[in-house]
Structure 1
Amino acid sequence: MSSKGFFSEYDKSIKNRIVEEGYDLYFSRPCGYVLAKFFHKLKFTPTNISVLGMLIGVTGGVLLYWQDVLLYTSIGFVLVTFAGLMDSADGQAARIYDQRSEMGKYLDFFNDMLVFISCYLFGLLYFTDTYTLAGILALGLTSGYVHSIKSNLYEYYKGEFLHFSLTDSKHRNPPVDHIKENFDRTSSLLRKVTYPVLIDYVKRQNKIKFRSDETTRIFEEAREQDPQKFKEIYERNSRKMLAGWAWVCGSNVMRNGILVSSLFGRIDIYVIANIASYGLYLLVGKKQNQVDRRILNEIEDWDLTSLERTSAAEVQ
């Protein structure tokens, strides 16, 4: 089979080129596509690929403990990077072979969380003598919290973009009540463990997102009234914001920051920089609010119930 024939399903395997980062488009997705095809030949399901990638990534994270041994940190670098490719491959396999599932979507972020916890935990334990165990615990928890907030919000705005650009609404998280009513947490231990993490993830996302529920309702009404016109308005105004969220909050930036700093034996510097980046995160959020207001201004003459209700409340 020619390379062209082999990659004939590549476009089907990715979400949308607009929301894909350059790192993903030119590295993660092509490699993930090859891995998806390879593991499909071995009869692996997307969930199998995801779990295997998590185990590889956690192992790589453990190796970051030995930051004074370049061989170990180099192997850790390779394993965590490969886990990132596997994380791409599972979703691509699901799209290529129509094996998408709600559990697969949730398993992705759960596995990512375990890999990053492993990297932070073992990478920082190397510096116990420098910062003391209490200091390491404080740094790790603070950086992990900032990491989770940034990652959560980036995924939220990617999901919103895919939804309002009429690409794929499946990447939006459903309401918490919907998850509680529909998520099957009785069939396996994995589901039982994933459920509380998922509930916390969605609750936190709803709490920290910069976009108000009222703004979302207005956008939804505009999308329903004239899908194509609102798609054009939303894409034109929000496209550049995706790059801002990616540079400040993207998993690729955070993963590579951890790995490169570990190669130099100074993951602590990255952790401190990550905590400091919370200020940048707030700036991006403020810019996002400005973009949302610009969208609202463009549709202010539309006949929308929510928009009228909001205007009336502002007058009062």
Structure 2
Amino acid sequence: MWFSSLVQGIKSTLKSEDTEGFFEIYVTRSCGYLWALFFKQLHIHPNVVTIVSIILGALSGYMFYYDDLSHTLWGIFLLIWANWYDCADGQLARMTGKKSLLGRILDGFAGDVWFFSIYFFISLRLTPSWDIWIWLLSAFAGFICHSKQCALADYYRNVHMFFQKGADKCELDSSEEQYRKMKALKWSKDWFEKIYLFFYARYTHSQEKMSPSCQHLLLTLKKKYGNQIPTELRQRFRVGSKPLMKYTNILTFDMRAGVLFISVLIKEPWLYMVFEVTVMNVIFFYMRNRHEKLCKEIELEAYK
């Protein structure tokens, strides 16, 4: 009885069950949910949880600078802990209704800080034997491969929720709209939000550039139906998109964290970066091609 109650509680704090896999719901999110309940009892703000998550993740990267087992295990534990808190902050915000612009900024910033620290300290660790080449590999794996994979995976989840729940219950934003909001704000009163929207609009634009067929589909549907997309089309997209959600989860945290842990445990951390550049990129392009194909098919159906 208590387990089913726990699962129901976890699911009530998810944005969408469609976008979460078995491992995410029953392992990652369950731990995050328990932490969220704990923080709720202590009246701790979600932003505080996010800041602690950032610190833990950054410390994890520092631990991977050392090659002894003790530091390695601490690094693994700290990164898992940081991820629990990263799950907990969003669940706590949805439980308590304490959502803010700063919270959204911090949440988007957290994972970047973790992995910047990880790439940096692994590169520093391997510099004596790899020289500049490890920095070049690290920069390519992190700034080019990793960042694009996470950005597109996040975008596809938001597109899926747009078709599943509608525009008012998802976080699918357009860069054009964000730029418009930014220009409407005054530096004297809203400088913080204006700076945020500048960078967020650029980030959203980068997501849109990677998904041209998806952009064409969204524009076509908006022109033809406005916000009243037929249920049949929405369901058709959801059916085609749902199998791709497992790839979005692979491209975010769990898979890359698992490979990272194995690579540092066997004292070959460079393998993680090679995995990022090879295997993760293959998954990225496969997911992207399937999603673009789906969007073209749905657009053809919309014209019928």
TM-score, structure 1 normalization: 0.84
Check conservation: 1:70, 1:263, Cα contact below 8 A: yes
Task: Give the whole-Å Cα distance in 2 for the aligned partners of 1:190 and 1:125.
Answer: 34
User: Structure 1 residues 194, 85: closer, same or farther in 2, change over 3 A?
Assistant: farther
Check conservation: 1:59, 1:79, Cα contact below 8 A: yes
- Residue 256 of structure 1 aligns to a residue whose secondary structure is helix
The aligned amino acid for 1:173 is: D
Task: Give the whole-Å Cα distance in 2 for the aligned partners of 1:266 and 1:186.
Answer: 51
Partner of 2:130: 131
Give the deviation of 1:11 after TM superposition.
Answer: 2.4
Partner of 1:284: 287
Task: Give the whole-Å Cα distance in 1 for the aligned partners of 2:183 and 2:64.
Answer: 40
Alignment of 1:23-62 (within 5 A): 23-62=23-62
2:268 is equivalent to residue 266 of structure 1: yes
Alignment of 1:129-168 (within 5 A): 129-132=128-131, 134-144=132-142, 145-166=144-165
User: Structure 1 residues 185, 14: closer, same or farther in 2, change over 3 A?
Assistant: farther
Give the deviation of 1:210 after TM superposition.
Answer: 4.3
RMSD: 2.8
Alignment of 1:141-290 (within 5 A): 141-144=139-142, 145-166=144-165, 169-175=169-175, 176-178=178-180, 180-181=182-183, 197-220=199-222, 221-222=224-225, 224-247=227-250, 249-276=251-278, 277-290=280-293
Alignment of 1:12-27 (within 5 A): 12-27=12-27
Check conservation: 2:221, 2:302, Cα contact below 8 A: no
Give the deviation of 1:44 after TM superposition.
Answer: 1.2
The aligned amino acid for 1:273 is: F
Partner residue of 2:298 out of 288, 295, 305? 295
Check conservation: 2:86, 2:107, Cα contact below 8 A: yes
Task: Give the whole-Å Cα distance in 1 for the aligned partners of 2:254 and 2:191.
Answer: 29
The aligned amino acid for 2:109 is: F
Give the deviation of 1:100 after TM superposition.
Answer: 2.4
Partner of 2:68: 69
Give the deviation of 1:42 after TM superposition.
Answer: 2.1
**Structure 2 residue runs without a partner (length 5+):** none
Give the deviation of 1:9 after TM superposition.
Answer: 3.4
User: Structure 1 residues 174, 103: closer, same or farther in 2, change over 3 A?
Assistant: farther
The aligned amino acid for 1:291 is: L
Give the deviation of 1:206 after TM superposition.
Answer: 2.3
The aligned amino acid for 2:300 is: N
Task: Give the whole-Å Cα distance in 2 for the aligned partners of 1:196 and 1:252.
Answer: 30
Task: Give the whole-Å Cα distance in 2 for the aligned partners of 1:222 and 1:251.
Answer: 36
Partner of 1:307: none
User: Structure 1 residues 233, 148: closer, same or farther in 2, change over 3 A?
Assistant: same
Task: Give the whole-Å Cα distance in 1 for the aligned partners of 2:209 and 2:277.
Answer: 20
Check conservation: 1:53, 1:82, Cα contact below 8 A: yes
Task: Give the whole-Å Cα distance in 1 for the aligned partners of 2:16 and 2:45.
Answer: 23
Identity over aligned pairs, percent: 21
User: Structure 1 residues 251, 38: closer, same or farther in 2, change over 3 A?
Assistant: same
The aligned amino acid for 1:263 is: L
User: Structure 1 residues 194, 256: closer, same or farther in 2, change over 3 A?
Assistant: farther
Check conservation: 2:28, 2:84, Cα contact below 8 A: yes
Give the deviation of 1:223 after TM superposition.
Answer: 6.8
Give the deviation of 1:112 after TM superposition.
Answer: 0.8
Partner of 2:90: 91
**Structure 1 residue runs without a partner (length 5+):** 302-316
TM-score, structure 2 normalization: 0.87
Check conservation: 2:185, 2:194, Cα contact below 8 A: no
May I ask how many residue pairs the two structures share in their alignment? Answer: 298
